[in-house]
Amino acid sequence: QKDDSQAPVKAPLDPSKVLIVYLSRTNNTKAVAGIIHKELGGTLVALELEKPYPSNYQATVQQVVRENEQGYLPPLRTKIANLSQYDVVFVGFPTWGMQLPPPMKSFLKQYDLSGKTLVPFNTNAGYGVGSSLETVKALAPSSTVLEGFTTRGGVERDGVLFVMEGNKEKQVQTEVKAWLNKLNLVGKK
Ligand SMILES: Cc1cc2nc3c(=O)[nH]c(=O)nc-3n(C[C@H](O)[C@H](O)[C@H](O)COP(=O)(O)O)c2cc1C
């Protein structure tokens, strides 16, 4: 039998050290954030802007194209106090224009996340994460970025908004749990 008496005892993740920051327009990414929060606890924060995007989808798409072209970082209304207390920061966002949405770029630029563990999660309309994960890494060069989670969310373009209910919700719950276990952040009870 293997002698594991010298193996380090893994402490459970302390919820007071977990921050979950997310951007969500039609609540799909918010639902994934909620699942993570239910599993790990921690502080859950929605990113809100000083000037919200238009409710019109096409107007928002156009605005995001311009912001990405100009490298514009929209000012955040959300302020996060005592960021230094957190060791693990989950960052959740939809794919917008196959990129990281400008508000999440604002967050990563504005806050010093060096030395922290970043854990990305994403929903999208079926076209994937685009360049968003690369941008997270580029904007947080002194953080450890773990493997991200991504799932299909809504398709606002086609009038499909919130989809995280029923079987889809159950499926995503199962997938998120498996992903968190694989990340090894979840301590043994
Ligand atoms: C401005 C905008 C741009 C989008 N661009 C893309 C895209 O490039 N690729 C994609 O798969 N989905 C795209 N989507 C769809 C969202 O990623 C998808 O609906 C996501 O689940 C929305 O998350 P939320 O409900 O948390 O806002 C876009 C949505 C918006 C509003």
Average the pLDDT over 84-110 and give the result: 98
Average the pLDDT over 82-94 and give the result: 97
* Model pLDDT, residue 147: 97
> Among 86, 145, 156, which Cα is nearest to 121's?
145
* Model pLDDT, residue 2: 66
pLDDT at 179 over 50: yes
185: confidence class by pLDDT, cuts 50, 70, 90: confident
| pLDDT tens track for 123-134 | 999 999 999 999
pTM for the whole structure? 0.94
Q: How far is the CA of 130 from the centre of ligand 1 (A)?
A: 11
> To which residue do tokens 């949405």 refer?
101
Tokens of 42: 């921690």
Average the pLDDT over 177-186 and give the result: 89
Task: Evaluate whether 48 touches 21 at the Cβ level (below 8 Å).
Answer: no
pLDDT averaged over every residue in the chain = 94
- With a 6 Å cutoff on the Cβ, whether 32 touches ligand 1 is no
- With a 6 Å cutoff on the Cβ, whether 156 touches ligand 1 is yes
User: Could you count the other beta carbons within 10 Å of the beta carbon of residue 63?
Assistant: 16
Domain ranges of the chain: 15-183
40: Cβ–Cβ under 8 A, 6 or more apart, which residues?
A: 13, 15, 18, 20, 180, 185, 186
Task: Evaluate whether 85 touches 58 at the Cβ level (below 8 Å).
Answer: no
Q: For residue 124, which atom of ligand 1 is closest to its CA? A: 17
Q: How far is the CA of 115 from the centre of ligand 1 (A)?
A: 30
Average the pLDDT over 151-163 and give the result: 98
The best mutation among 55, 57, 96 to test binding of ligand 1, ranked by most ligand atoms within 8 Å of the C-beta, falls on: 96
169: Cβ–Cβ under 8 A, 6 or more apart, which residues?
A: 31
The best mutation among 61, 65, 124 to test binding of ligand 1, ranked by most ligand atoms within 8 Å of the C-beta, falls on: 124
* Model pLDDT, residue 7: 65
pLDDT at 188 over 50: no
Question: Which is it for the CA torsion 164, 83, 52, 66, positive or negative?
Answer: negative
16/40 Cα distance (integer angstroms): 10
Query: What CATH class does 15-183 carry?
Result: alpha beta
| Number of Cα atoms under 13 Å in the Cβ half of residue 130 | 17
Tokens of 129: 């994460």
Burial class (CB in 10 A: 0-12, 13-18, 19+), 181: exposed
| pLDDT tens track for 3-42 | 666 666 667 799 999 999 999 999 999 999 999 999 999 9
Measuring CA to CA, how many Å separate 37 from each of 21, 41, 92, 162? 10, 5, 12, 19
